[in-house]
């Protein structure tokens, strides 16, 4: 997709990958709307608004405002995400609800609102920020692993169902990214999960991930892998599931010991 003059909405734009996406999209000539729980200070945005992505009414109101003030949305970056919770025994229901609401249900809300217009126009682009955890798993955090698997599954379904009708879909699946979720969030996924991420490979800057996303969108690729080695891991998982599980158990033991 050629992004120049396209209207792009980015959620979770207050920092990390979202803020980097806003800058990269603006540099590519897109008209970018930046959203976060608080009004984001995102360089390059033509419109910045506070948005709770789990609130369907607020999301509908935001998209209506964008259509009036900027134009119909061409590309939606479902980038807002949270990392919280550890094992199913100690993680309360409220944490599960929050993680699933932000990492999955917000994508469903946005797609429900955007699809009618996209299908009528014969084009639209949905980009979900998932995680390598959505293809593999996340050691140490059941809610994060489950929600990111579900986000990838929903993106797959959108692509299969609407791809022939002009709706393009990409899902972004990086490993470690230097964001507050990994580096400074005291209420996040815990030391085991963040240790596993750091042990898995290079921690990329948000800017590097944003550049990979724009390249992937330009090629209209479904899987956008800022860490190319994720594809190797994913293939190994499919080729020999039992061996892959055994290897992940060894990694679990390693990061738990350290």
Catalytic residue among 76, 125, 144, 162: 144
What is the chain written as a DSSP string?
---TT-EEEESSTTSHHHHHHHHHHHHTT-EEEEEESS----TT-SEEEE--TT-HHHHHHHHHHHHHHT-S-SEEEE---------TTTS-HHHHHHHHIIIIIHHHHHHHHHHHHHHHHT-EEEEEE--GGGTS--TT-HHHHHHHHHHHHHHHHHHHHHGGGTEEEEEE--S-B-SHHHHT-TTSS-HHHHHHHHHHSPPBPHHHHHHHHHHHHHTT-SEE-SSTHHHHHHHHHHH-HHHHHHHHHHHHHHHHH-
Residue 82 per-residue DSSP state: -
Q: Does 125 qualify as catalytic in the annotation?
A: no
Radius of gyration of the chain (CA): 18
Supply the residues annotated as catalytic. 144
């Amino acid at each position: 997709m050629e992004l120049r003059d396209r209207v792009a909405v980015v959620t979770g734009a207050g920092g990390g990958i979202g803020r980097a996406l806003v800058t990269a999209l603006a540099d590519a000539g897109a008209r970018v709307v930046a959203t976060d729980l608080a009004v984001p200070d995102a360089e390059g945005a033509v419109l910045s608004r506070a948005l709770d992505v789990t609130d369907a009414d607020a999301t509908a109101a935001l998209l209506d405002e964008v259509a009036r003030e900027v134009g119909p949305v061409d590309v939606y970056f479902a980038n807002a995400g949270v990392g919280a919770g550890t094992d199913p025994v100690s993680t309360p229901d409220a944490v599960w609800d929050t993680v699933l609401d932000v990492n999955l249900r917000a994508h469903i809300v946005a797609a429900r609102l955007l699809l009618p217009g996209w299908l009528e126009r014969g084009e639209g682009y949905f980009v979900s920020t998932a995680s390598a955890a959505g293809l593999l798993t996340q050691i140490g955090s059941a809610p994060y692993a489950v929600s990111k698997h579900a986000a990838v599954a929903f993106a797959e379904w959108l692509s299969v169902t609407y791809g022939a009708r002009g709706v393009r879909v990409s899902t972004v699946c990086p490993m470690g990214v230097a964001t507050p979720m990994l580096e400074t969030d005291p209420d996040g996924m815990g030391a085991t999960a963040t240790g596993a991420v750091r042990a898995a490979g290079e921690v990329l800057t948000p800017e590097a991930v944003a550049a990979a996303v724009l390249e992937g969108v330009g090629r209209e690729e479904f899987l956008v892998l800022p860490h190319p080695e994720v594809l190797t891991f994913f293939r190994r998982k499919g080729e020999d599931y039992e061996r892959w599980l055994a290897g992940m158990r060894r990694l679990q033991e390693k990061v738990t010991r350290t």
